[in-house]
Amino acid sequence: MKRRAYADQEYWGRPVPSFGDEQARVLVLGLAPGAHGSNRTGRMFTGDGSGDFLFPVLHEAAFASQAKAVTRDDGMRLTGLWISAVVHCAPPGNKPTPEEQRNCAPWLDEEMGLLSTLRVVVCLGKIAFDGFLNHQLRAGRISARTKFQFRHGAEYALPNEITLIASYHPSLQNTNTGKLTRAMFLDVFKRARTVAGLG
């Protein structure tokens, strides 16, 4: 259902594609498109509160060409970074079911195979963190998830020369309460740059 503020807009309303630099060394993995953000605009983290928090940080960390993401054609360019999600359709209640996650899993598996220069995966929230570890299990790169504990700033070196960094999701619930601050978030992306060899 459309929000009154967007009543005159035509929603994208389809699976939202990933986007960014195809030679990315860093992947940002989110949860799913927001109902009135990505699902409306057709681009990950564009047009909602999470994106309003994410893109200024990506801009300051020299991954994004600009600090504001409004529409698919606003000129945003990512350098060294690719943005995706474990689920590509807006889920009911903003939380994808296990079935939705399983249905989207093959897309993540294929995407990971195509990102050949990847060195760092930043998972935004526990669902993205678990989704990425499930991918690693399917790929046979890890045998269990038990030693991987989600906490903000946690960092794990994986067997395939990928470093996993966990972060709280930049949802309004986390940013408005101070659970995730701009400084905390910026530290994650500065660390990602360093680990990825981007200076």
Q: Output the domain CATH number for residue 97.
A: 3.40.470.10
78, part of any domain: yes
Are 79 and 21 a contacting pair, CB within 8 Å? yes
**78 vs 14, more confident:** 78
- 44-82 pLDDT tens trace: 999 999 999 999 999 999 999 999 999 999 999 999 999
Confidence band of 95 (pLDDT split at 50, 70, 90)? confident
73, part of any domain: yes
Structural domain count of the chain: 1
146, part of any domain: yes
7, part of any domain: no
8, part of any domain: no
4, part of any domain: no
**What is the C-alpha separation between 10 and 166, in angstroms, rounded?**
34
Within 10 angstroms of residue 86's Cβ, the number of other Cβ atoms is: 26
Confidence band of 5 (pLDDT split at 50, 70, 90)? low
pTM for the whole thing? Answer: 0.93
10, part of any domain: no
Domain holding 51, by residue range, is: 15-195
9, part of any domain: no
